[in-house]
Structure 1
Amino acid sequence: MEVLALVGPSGTGKSFRAINTAHEYQAEVIIDDGLLINGNRILAGQSAKRQPTRIGAIKTALFMEPGHVQQARDALAALKPERVLVLATSHEMAEKITGRLGLPPVKKYIAIEELASPREIRKARIMRTQYSKHVIPAPTVEVKKSFPDTIIDPLQVFMRRKEPQGARGWLEQSVVRPTFTYYGKISIAQGALAAIAARAAKEVPGVKDAGRINILRRNDGVVIDLSLTIYYGQVMYQVSRLVQESVRRRVEEMTGLQVVAVHILVKDISLDPRRQNEAGTG
């Protein structure tokens, strides 16, 4: 099985171009926002756009719920597609999705800038930010199963068939307004993110204090810097690795944000008071 990934920031038109891209590269399955789509059918999954919060939407898109990911794995195992197209906001997100679904590593990355002009990308961003319009690359009759109480607009996508005559065919996809847009924007304070990261770091044996925490927000996720104080006698690179994994896991599980990187600086070494007490009583 080959895996392709269409990558670009949120709201740049990836879903709108998914059908044509899958057709061009002969990908049988599109994986987009928690859904597995095969031609004009939704095979499995849950739409992230149906979630009541943005955090829930991100978790759904990453297949973080056990039941959701198992349903998708079973559908892929039954279909056995030769080629799959994954839509993601970054290479890291594509890798997380393929890892969760047990798919091979991505063979080819396709940037949205290769398919859309700057003008088209700006227009897509306006439709997303001002009108909260999102595209699902599946027919309206299929999408209504997930959005039964929502007005859904059909959108026809024309594509050139691979025939000598160059005949044009079309497939339908849908425009929806996700549930989470009804409640306005939800943001997570820097202090809350820092508190989660600090607690995750201190859960690692050998860490005395997480120190100063700096968080950089990017379009594709967050970068977290920590200045650790660890206890004397610890192997620094081992403790640092454990802290990186603990912080990444905790932040992603509790907020749904994607952690792009966790940078560790061991700023200080401290004596473990337990060892001091043991030495004093020996």
Structure 2
Amino acid sequence: MRVTFLIGSSGTGKSYQAMNLASQRDIRYIIDDGLLIKENKIIAGKSAKREASRLGAVRRALFMDRQHQQKVIESLEKEKPEAIMVLGTSRKMVDIISEQLSLGEPDHVLWLEDLVSREEIELAQKIRKQEGKHVIPVPALQLKKDFSGYFLNPIKALRSLGKESGSAEHYKSVVRPTFSYKGHYTISDGVIRSLVHYSFNQFSEVQPVGRTFVQNSATGLEIQLEVRVAYGVSIPKTLEKLQQSIIDEVEGMTSLHIDQVMIHVRKFQS
């Protein structure tokens, strides 16, 4: 297996640049921040950015947890990658990761400062310092459950590291880790119910009846509600549109992940 190290100080834009650099060097697998990533898809691991403390994040990124480490090793044995890139903030860090995952010595060691301009690095550092934003090189959809309730924004890298026109686009997600927050916030079930009812504004043929129930789970929200439907409309098509409207409204306003929306038809309206 061909191993490449990409090293750069914290907040300099390693994760943002990694997918384009890996593509240029024909590397399909990346180890970044506790995750094993294959072409924009998480194969194994848990993001260090979801840890509650910086110490916990460091331990997660270094695969110090035995169970976490073993799952990633098993995935590597199953995938058998021909080449892999390991990201870290120092040579010591990538050496530890390589040892923990039994990757062996690197074939190439790259320093981000030699690959991108000083202006790009300074901009990345400014965003990290002022806004607490971090990048994970996978689509936002794959992260929504792990980062439910936290800042999450999908982006496309259209140009970086001299990317040529016509090359494949790489998806990335901007998150604000738990440990970067300076406080906490909560969103009451009453607010969720209000957003659900607001979704009915564009559905004159469907009206809510009774109470809307909101259940919190480990992976997101479960919403249950009862409705009355106008006689003569297509119930499956109408309720599918209503479900999607509720999901868009609640997730768009709160960033909370919706596991499911259960709609029960109680009666018809004339």
> What is the TM-score normalised by the length of structure 2?
0.64
More deviation, 112-121/64-73 = 112-121
Paired-residue identity, % = 43
Amino acid at match of 2:153: D
- 1:145, 1:81 → 2: CA distance? 27
1:63/1:97 contact within 8 Å kept = yes
Residue aligning to 2:102:
102
Which whole-Å deviations, capped at 9, do the CAs of 1:14-43 have from their partners, x for residues lacking one?
000011011011111111110111012100
Would you say the 8 A contact 2:20–2:170 is kept in 1? Answer: no
CA RMSD of aligned residues (A): 1.6
Q: Give 2:169's aligned residue.
A: 170
Letter in 2 for 1:38: K
Following the alignment from structure 1 to structure 2, what is the Cα–Cα distance between the partners of residues 183 and 67? 30
Deviation of 1:159 (Å): 6.0
Alignment-derived partner of residue 242 in structure 1: none
Equivalent in the alignment of 2:12: 12
TM superposition shift of 1:183? 4.2
Listed as ranges, the matches of 1:14-33 within 5 Å are 14-33=14-33
Deviation at 1:56, TM superposition (A): 0.3
In 1, the alpha carbon distance for the partners of 2:84 and 2:125 equals 26
How far apart in 1 are the matches of 2:39 and 2:71? Answer: 18
Q: How do residues 196-235 of structure 1 correspond to structure 2 at under 5 angstroms?
A: none
User: What is the CA–CA distance in structure 1 between the aligned matches of 2:176 and 2:165, rounded to whole Å?
Assistant: 35
Query: 8 Å contact 1:5–1:108 — kept in the other structure?
Result: yes
The CA deviation at 1:166 is 5.3
- 1:123-157 deviations in whole A, cap 9, x for unaligned? 11011111000000000111113212223111101
**SS of the residue aligned with 1:180?**
helix
Structure 1: tracts of 5 or more residues without a match: 185-282
Q: Secondary structure at the match of 1:75?
A: helix
Query: Which residues of 2 match residues 68-83 of structure 1 at below 5 A?
Result: 68-83=68-83
**1:48-68 alpha-carbon deviations (Å, 9 max, x no partner):** 100000000000000000000
- Aligned partners of 1:159 and 1:168 also within 8 Å: no
Over 4 Å off, 4+ runs? none
User: Can you list the C-alpha shifts for 1:92-127, whole angstroms capped at 9, x where unaligned?
Assistant: 111100000011211111111122111111111011
Verify: 1:40 aligned to 2:31, yes or no: no
Task: Give the Cα separation in 2 of the matches to 1:61 and 1:151.
Answer: 20
Alignment TM-score, normalising by the size of structure 1: 0.61
Aligned residues: 180
Unmatched tracts of structure 2, length 5 or more:
184-270
Distance 1:125 1:171 in 2: 21
